[in-house]
Structure 1
Amino acid sequence: MKEELFSLSSYIHSNPELGNQEYKAVEAITAILSSNGFEVESGIAGLETAFKARFTKGTGGPTIGILCEYDALKNLGHGCGHNLQPSVALGAAISLSKLEETPPFTIEVFGTPAEETTSGKIPLTERGYFDHLDIALMMHAGDRTTVDGRSLALDSFEFVFEGKESHAAVAPENGISALDGVLMTFNGIEYLREHVRSDVRIHGIITDGGIAPNIVPGRSAAKFAVRASDRPYLNHVSERVLNVARGAALATGTKVEIIRHKSLENKLNVQTLNDTLLENAKLIGADNITPPRERTGSTDFSIVTHRVPGACIRTAFVPIGTSNHTKEWVQASNSPEGNKAIMTAAKIIGSTCLDIIYSKELLEKIKQDYLVEKENQKNLVVN
């Protein structure tokens, strides 16, 4: 299948589409799945570019979901390697469907749009599309082959301050600066940084600073992302950030509108499932296998792991230390190294699926470990 998989990846790379606009990608992906006997349901969860494709063999057995993303980055293209993911998912899923002598199983491929922006996995999760799965798996390109040991929970906010415009030279006393509210919010957050845990990340930008220097800004806005290693503590920190913005509005005489754009959970890890993926990576001879990264960001796959056991294999295709969302990643995403990563990741995920299909004991151990992890998460408290 490799030439067809490479062609699919190259086609998506050459036709980069932003989140919720991935029409060409979805058409190409689902056409291949349909031609290989998968039942395709398009436009799920109210998302035009989300889909589910299902193949069932026999009666009973585990149901395994393989998720893929395919959105590009604005003004950059596939700088996160999402064009590789559909080929990996199809390579693993279709190969499994062609095996003649296996125990019963069901494989479902999910197309999850807009990972970089609105996160299609959020409505898919909220509407229960993953709840029936025994396991959820996905691949992401990387500078090393490893598993996501953890991820940071995320809240993203927009603060829109309203003041009163006036001429900054002739009548400044008649104005109320919305920009002052934004700047005081930034300053207040700087003071907050000293009094939060070391895993917390708070980063923001000013998206509207006013119209002209000689006009007191009547409107100003900023966007912030707030992260922490677990949801209970993030809720605590996010509320403090919101209070900073509210206090800034009170202090400057402005009004602030708080808009919550997106919230993601920290990833729940199942060590048994992570170990199985890495064991298969070693058997296959994947490049640059390492322990999980010490520093990490956030992922919308995390919310899936709060419903079912899930794991993501990151597969090396660029030199260690090469950051994503760069031109280097764009170039590597359509290269021999990218194609090699497709085959490696498809084999890792396919082999892990086979381990689960053949071993009820392994699946049971994964589920038991997952329940323990969920209970541990539930018992987290903010000191």
Structure 2
Amino acid sequence: MRERLAARVLEAIRRARSSIIALSERIHGHPELGYQEVKASAWVAEILSEYGYAVDRAYAGMPTALRAVFPGVPERPAIALLAEYDALPEIGHGCGHNLIAAVAVGAAVGLAAVAGQLAGRVIVLGTPAEEGGVEGAGGKVVLLERGAFSGVDAAMLLHPSSRTVVASPCHSREALEVSFRGKAAHASLAAEAGASALEALILTFNGLNALRGRSGPSMQIHGIITHGGTHPGTIPHRAIARFYIRSPDAAGLEYAGTRLRDLARAAANATGTSVAFRQFSHSYHEMRPNPVLARLMEANLQGAGLKPEPAGGGGGSTDMGNVSEAVPALHAYFAVGDRQVATHTSDFATLAGSPAARRPLIKAARAVALTCLDLLVCPEHLGRARLAHRAP
């Protein structure tokens, strides 16, 4: 039965190939920041509707989220295919989220061809604002809090990269804004009367550089200055930086966050300023592995012509980590192009919208569709995935 259904799924993806590619390139050509993905979410909803899905727009009170289900099929088990579609500031789709959305939609289109013969259903969740640069980023965290994953038995997402990797570790992450307040003064005539918030911020960065020399690669703190003053002739009374704090686990994240706060407080004491802290986006948890889902995806990636490689040390962060704590989940990667190109760069943005991305996109959609099919035609797979998820 599985092979007969798989043939129909793959044929449906083949027939929809041009529409799947067009969706990816349309989203790529109109990059939108997190929580502003109005066009992208509308285009995703449009193609899903064309293939028979009932689409709930502005889902869970989020204007650019969506939920799509095929009507008239059993509600459980339910597999969620997650579609991201937000872009990066200035770079555009330097993380290839246009491809993530198209992979999820392509897989859903294939599965629509056999929806009536499955003992369960597929849910497509459009998840805004995964990229952390926008205020309140972490759309999947919001969806979790609002019950979007209730009744979901497994969730999966396939992300473009330079390598095909089934289960690469992702770090937990805190997004922390550090704000210093001082006292303005004329920088030439009365500098001694001022208290430079910018000096405090620079001291914090210098302290971080010293801390890195005594810390291993597992503790990562990256930051940018978002405000450092308004005029070179005035002692800055306000200075702000935003930091990402990362670690492979929650304990390491707490330690690193404490060290950053200690450094900032020490800098404030040294400069006669005050300091305040604020989280500007949701915290992301480390990705919880699920070897059962990973093995199924690995087999289907190989069958689609993508060659999985061993996972490296991992890194980066995603709100899919939060999802993986709630339900069995998989966040895998598929190779785009024939050379190493780092994500979050303009080079990768170019690659993600180029003809070189088309064949890997269709292959990835096939792999996701067949992994979902495996879970729905063989309940034993889902049972084992649940057990793996509960394991300590």
Q: Secondary structure at the match of 1:264?
A: coil
Q: Distance in 1 between matches of 2:339 and 2:254?
A: 34
Q: Distance in 2 between matches of 1:173 and 1:371?
A: 60
Q: Distance in 2 between matches of 1:157 and 1:327?
A: 26
Alignment-derived partner of residue 4 in structure 2: none
Moved more, 268-277 or 97-106: 97-106
1:131–1:307 contact (8 Å) kept in structure 2: no
The offset of 1:102, in angstroms, is 3.4
Is 1:86 the counterpart of 2:101? The answer is: yes
The offset of 1:187, in angstroms, is 2.4
Q: Distance in 2 between matches of 1:249 and 1:340?
A: 54
Is 1:267 the counterpart of 2:282? The answer is: no
Q: Secondary structure at the match of 1:159?
A: strand
With the length of structure 2 as denominator, give the TM-score of the two structures. Answer: 0.90
Paired letter, 2:161: G
Paired letter, 1:124: L
Q: Distance in 1 between matches of 2:264 and 2:299?
A: 48
Is 1:54 the counterpart of 2:69? The answer is: yes
Deviations 1:296-347 (A, max 9, x none): 2111111111111111221111234211122322222223321112211111
Alignment-derived partner of residue 379 in structure 1: none
Is 1:279 the counterpart of 2:299? The answer is: yes
With the length of structure 1 as denominator, give the TM-score of the two structures. Answer: 0.92
Q: 2:51 aligns with which of 19, 31, 36?
A: 36
For residues 116-127 of structure 1, the aligned pairs below 5 Å read: 116=131, 117=134, 118-127=137-146
Moved more, 117-126 or 153-162: 117-126
Q: Secondary structure at the match of 1:66?
A: strand
Alignment-derived partner of residue 363 in structure 1: 382
The offset of 1:58, in angstroms, is 4.0
Alignment-derived partner of residue 381 in structure 1: none
2:181–2:238 contact (8 Å) kept in structure 1: yes
Q: Distance in 1 between matches of 2:314 and 2:157?
A: 20
The offset of 1:3, in angstroms, is 1.1
Alignment-derived partner of residue 309 in structure 1: 328
Q: Distance in 2 between matches of 1:102 and 1:13?
A: 34
Alignment-derived partner of residue 24 in structure 2: 9
The offset of 1:161, in angstroms, is 0.7
Paired letter, 1:74: P
Alignment-derived partner of residue 142 in structure 1: 161
Alignment-derived partner of residue 329 in structure 1: 348
The offset of 1:143, in angstroms, is 0.6
Deviations 1:11-70 (A, max 9, x none): 112222222111111111111212222121111232211110012564364200000111
Moved more, 182-191 or 90-99: 182-191
Moved more, 353-362 or 331-340: 331-340
The offset of 1:209, in angstroms, is 2.1
Is 1:71 the counterpart of 2:86? The answer is: yes
Root-mean-square deviation (CA, aligned residues, Å) is 1.8
Aligned-pair identity in percent equals: 36
2:67–2:125 contact (8 Å) kept in structure 1: yes
Paired letter, 2:148: Y
Q: Distance in 1 between matches of 2:80 and 2:144?
A: 13
Q: Distance in 2 between matches of 1:48 and 1:140?
A: 23
Is 1:96 the counterpart of 2:111? The answer is: yes
Structure 2: unaligned runs, 5 residues or longer: 1-15
Is 1:23 the counterpart of 2:38? The answer is: yes
Q: Secondary structure at the match of 1:20?
A: coil
Q: Distance in 2 between matches of 1:292 and 1:186?
A: 32
For residues 204-219 of structure 1, the aligned pairs below 5 Å read: 204-219=223-238
Is 1:346 the counterpart of 2:361? The answer is: no
| Cα 1:61–1:122 shift into 2, 3 Å | closer
Moved more, 292-301 or 272-281: 292-301
Q: Distance in 2 between matches of 1:334 and 1:185?
A: 39
The offset of 1:170, in angstroms, is 1.4
Q: Secondary structure at the match of 2:239?
A: strand
2:119–2:377 contact (8 Å) kept in structure 1: no
Deviations 1:168-197 (A, max 9, x none): 221122111111211221222233334544
Q: Secondary structure at the match of 2:142?
A: helix
